[in-house]
Amino acid sequence: MPLEIIYNNLIEMNTDAIVNVTNSSEFQLECKQIENCLVGDALITVDSDFVVKNIIHTTAPTGESVSRNDNYLLANCYRNSLELAFLNNLHSVAFPLILADNHKYPIKDVLKIATNEIKDFLLTHEMTVYLVIPDRRISLVDKNIITSIKKYIKERYCFSNTAQLKSIAKLPAHFEENYYETNSNVKEELLVQYESAASLLDTSLPLHNYVANTEESFSQMLLRLIDERNTTDVETYKRANINRRLFSKIRTNVDYNPSKPTALAFAIALELNLEETKDLLAHAGYALSHSYKFDIIVEYFIQQKNYDIYEINEALFAFDQQLLGGN
């Protein structure tokens, strides 16, 4: 996918280039041939000691407090580094989340600047960009959003939803919550029945298990929806965090079946409501299920009418789920 957030050590990334954030004095040593190297500038060097030969150096702001000018300079770090990678014909680049370890700069602010700059760049360029997070203790999503998503999951996650288990097992209406909690044999039997029912929603099953005599393939439906919403192919696959190569395969192959994250990415890009999303998924052979946190989190954002795929992926990342998009 064009933009991916991952946990890793930056210097172990197998990309065409990595971005090194350095202080001003070190940067000057690399920039002897350039007059007036400033904060936010970028310079590329080659270092044969690293797995990644191309190192893009940039200097982040180090002000005592966050200011509008600091935000502008931080944005320049990403913008200039990306432009430099493009000018050097590089196809993939890995960034650290710049200033993530500086407590003067809230994580949500530096992440927003990073994703905005990368998103704007990817609208007009084909490149794979990674934001590399070194420590799982770094939380990328606002605590209030995390709490809200957790509540949404708790209310819908099948294994904790006795009402759904009752429905699946066709239990009498007088079946009580405390009976379920205190009778382990009954609970175990319910879970067996639930798992049996949930297997019918196995997302690996082919299209005909869900959709009989469908008139459209996924590819046909997707292209129709793009036309109906008066948008373009490029705008759609960019908003879906999909690269041009994959979209070309979908467009030229009427029977192409995407992965579930790819299908959902297009639903987000086209701002489909929940029922429309389910319909598009069905044409690819999938279904939304409350037995998967991934599905519930995506559903949460659709219900909130938040179709920013980068924000959705940040939340999925926070919950250790697969990201939306595709390569």
Q: What is the pLDDT of residue 54?
A: 87
Say whether pLDDT at 212 is over 50. Answer: no
272 shares a domain with 166: yes
CA distance 130 to 153: 28
Nearest CA to 282 out of 225, 207, 224 is that of: 207
Whether the predicted pLDDT of 282 surpasses 80: yes
Model confidence at 239: pLDDT above 70? yes
* pLDDT single digits (tens) 305-316: 999 999 999 999
Mean pLDDT along residues 183-207:
49
Rounded CA gap, 322 and 75, in Å? Answer: 27
**What's the pTM?**
0.75
Half-sphere exposure of 59 (CA within 13 A, CB side): 18
Question: Residues 125, 166: one domain?
Answer: no
Please tell me whether residue 43 adopts helix, strand or coil conformation: strand
Given a cut of 70, whether residue 197 has pLDDT beyond it is: no
SS3 at position 21: strand
Among 97, 113, 133, give the residue marking a domain's end. Answer: 133
Residue 315 confidence (pLDDT): 93
| Residue-level pLDDT at 176 | 41
**Whether residues 242 and 282 fall in one domain:** yes
Residue 2 contacts residue 122 (beta carbons within 8 Å): yes
Q: Which two tokens stand for residue 293?
A: 């946190």
**Are residues 110 and 157 located together in one domain of the fold?**
no
What would the pLDDT profile of 85-117 be if each residue is shown by its tens digit?
Answer: 999 999 999 999 998 877 778 888 899 999 999
DSSP letters spanning 218-286: HHHHHHHHHHHTT--HHHHHHHTTB-HHHHHHHHH-TT----HHHHHHHHHHTT--HHHHHHHHHTTT-
pLDDT digits (tens, 9 = 90+) for 25-34: 555 555 554 4
Does residue 138 sit within a domain? no
- How many domains does the chain fold into? 2
Residues 281 and 147 in one domain: yes
Token pair recorded at residue 178 = 């405390």
- The confidence score (pLDDT) of residue 53 equals 79
Cβ-based neighbours of 177, under 8 Å, separated by 6 or more:
162
Residue 23 is predicted with a pLDDT of 63
The answer to whether 169 touches 190, Cβ cutoff 8 Å, is yes
The DSSP symbol for 201 reads G
CA-based nearest residue to 92, from 127, 119, 56: 127
Residue 23 structure tokens = 């202080």
Q: Are 239 and 312 in contact (CB under 8 A)?
A: no
Q: Which two tokens stand for residue 86?
A: 């493009």
Question: Do 168 and 193 form a contact (C-beta atoms < 8 A)?
Answer: yes
How confident is the model over 166-176, as pLDDT tens digits? 444 444 444 34
Domain end point (choices 95, 114, 133): 133
Within a domain: 324: no
Tokens of 150: 């957790």
Would you state the pLDDT for residue 220? Answer: 95
pLDDT at 30 (0 to 100): 57
Give residue 183's domain range. Answer: 143-318
Residues 206 and 233 placed together within one structural domain of the fold: yes
- CATH number for the domain that contains residue 64: 3.40.220.10
Report the candidate in 138, 86, 131 with the shortest Cα–Cα distance to residue 107: 138
**Does 323 map to a domain?**
no
In this structure, the number of other CB atoms found within 10 A of the CB of residue 94 comes to 24
For residue range 59-84, list pLDDT tens digits in order.
Answer: 888 765 556 788 889 999 999 999 99
- Tokens for 34, please give them: 């350039």
What is residue 27's predicted lDDT score, i.e. its pLDDT? 53
Residue 42 DSSP one-character state: E
